Amino acid sequence: MTFATIANLLTMLLCIAVTVQSQRVKRALDTIRHGDLAQVVTALDQSTVQARIVLSELKGTLAAGSGQVAAAAEGKAVLDELRMMIEIADAAAERLATAGSANRAADVSEAVS
């Protein structure tokens, strides 16, 4: 097996991991619609952590395969997509945490009244 073949297989595995993470984020967004905000924040946080792990593994793969320009270019594209997914997940988690805090504050003020 050549290095390019191994790099392509690894890239396919990472793409599958991204697909799985996307499904998990979809489930988390479905949970938002049902109103369980705490579970959504936890799910998004876990997805973000796992995406960061995939990102670090991808960086290691790119460092090992610096001789293969085509494989490195493909890996760079996946890296950029993963970065964008992490940024989106971080922003969504922050919005959900803010909304959860606002909900809790509203619930407390209603209970006091």
pLDDT at 20: 92
Does the residue 110 lie in any domain? no
User: Per residue in 76-104, pLDDT tens?
Assistant: 888 888 899 899 988 988 888 888 888 77
User: Per residue in 1-34, pLDDT tens?
Assistant: 788 899 999 999 999 999 999 999 888 788 777 7
**How many domains are contained in the chain?**
1
Provide the phi-psi class of 35: left if phi over 0, else alpha when psi is between -120 and 50, else beta. left
Does the residue 108 lie in any domain? no
Closest by alpha carbon to 17, among 78, 64, 65, 62?
78
Does the residue 92 lie in any domain? yes
pLDDT at 13: 92
Does the residue 44 lie in any domain? yes
pLDDT band for position 65 (50/70/90)?
A: low
pLDDT at 35: 67
Does the residue 112 lie in any domain? no
Does the residue 109 lie in any domain? no
Domain that includes residue 44, residue range:
3-99
pLDDT at 74: 81
